[in-house]
Amino acid sequence: MQLPRRILAAAAAVLATVCLAAASPAVSYVNPLIPQRADPHISKQSDGYYYFTATVPEYDRIILRRAQTIQALASAPETTIWRRKASGVGSGQVWAPELHAIDGKWYIYVALGVSGQWKIRASVLEGTGTNPLTASWTEKGVIKTNWDTFSLDATTFVANGTRYLVWAQQEPSRSDENSSLLIAALQNPWTLRLPAVAISRPTLAWERVGYKVNEGPAVLQRNGALFLTYSASATDANYCMGLLTASLNSDLLNPASWTKSPTPILTSNAATSQFGPGHNSFVVAEDGQTDLLVYHDRGYRDIKGDPLNDPNRRTRVQKLYWGADGKPEFGVPVADGETPVRLRAAAGGFVRYDNGTGASGWLPETLFRVVKPGLAGGTTVSLEPGSNPGVFLSRGQGRAVQFVRNGTGGSAAAASFERRAGLGDAGGVSFEAVDVKGEYLRLEVGGKVAVAGVGKGEEGLATFFLE
């Protein structure tokens, strides 16, 4: 396998950038996790299992899977716990189920429609039994809200001892918009303490492409704050994610407590071939500390006909990073295949891909896929920027490194390394050059990265921790 001699851009370089973000272990999953499953919800319950539910393309049933690891959900048997009814509520669309354990019982929040009508309402099912896949399920009915209008995508969380429900609904006074986000405290898992209040409406341009939508809320509590993600616009390549933030100690029923980010936090990305990311959930990885982002998207941009009739939204998972300011960093929807990692140097800073065009924002520039086998084959690995698949870190002129695209000409060995135990810390890793034994990927004075020898006392400059 060969590589071209040219650098992708004259300004291309590898840099180490200092970052004070909290460290957390790397994760390894293969995307897409589950094909043809939209609006994915993964949760870890007290029995130690991960549970998965999602919208199926037929919109006719509620399914559950469970496994002891997230990756194992991909091949776990699927159980149908509820099917579309012959008439009434539940005889039409079945959308976006979520599984929650509340006070010793199971609850599924789901949007149910009526056959032949565009009449979709957020509804609740209650399950009794230790295992939700075999539990006895009963319908608790439609959730009564301020109005009897289009409603969907209910999710629940507890903050400061109070359980809340957040959902999407059309407000009668804003009939030109499809849905806003509303919140209310819960009296019990299927009854709200009304009135509910709207905390977000599709007022920004990127929330109004195709349809004027705020939907699919998900809540994560960290660092004294509530981070509420949601999805916006039509369910095609324009679908994207937004973010609301509130202090954990604020009045969550006061719309003024919530601040909306002015730009979307996750959008389609042509470089990684991911389109229409959204309707996410959050879950903690098997290590018990790493936050994960679960969402759906498609692997292509163009859709024929109504996007809701396209069956190929698929479930994906990637690591959620945290900035030095305590806020989540979403980056880009990563390419299909194994999830990328960051390379944090023992001496401080991260290896960074920066050519001024191939990455947007700080996080995407520091994500790399450790490709196995590497371009030289065998036991080697190659380092591929997460924001620009098909490009690889390679030895350049002298000690310098460059990024080159997989192709013809040049040397595959120059873009391949042997992964070793960390020279400065066996808990880390070092990357020894294939073309020149004894030389390693390492930091230089001033923060640049090189491929060169490592002198005594410099071992920490060539040792990296995967995050």
Catalogue the active-site residues: 39, 215
Q: Is 108 within 8 Å of 96 (Cβ atoms)?
A: no
With tokens 């809340």, the residue in question is 164
DSSP-assigned letters across all residues of 379-417: T-BEEEETTSTTEEEEE-STTBEEEEESBSSS-SGGG-E
CB 251 within 8 A of CB 257: yes
Cis peptide before 202 (omega within 30 of 0): no
Q: Which of 127, 168, 114 is nearest to 145 (CA)?
A: 168
* Residues near 384 by beta carbon (within 8 Å), at least 6 away in sequence: 340, 368, 369, 371, 390, 391, 392, 393
Dihedral, CA of residue 305, residue 311, residue 312 and residue 315, to nearest 10 = 130
Q: Which of 322, 317, 316 is nearest to 289 (CA)?
A: 322
Q: How far is CA 238 from CA 27, 264, 276, 301, 359, in A?
A: 28, 11, 6, 9, 20
**3-class secondary structure per residue, 216-269:** EEEEEEECCEEEEEEEECCCCCCCEEEEEEEECCCCCCCHHHCEECCCCCECCE
Burial class (CB in 10 A: 0-12, 13-18, 19+), 315: buried
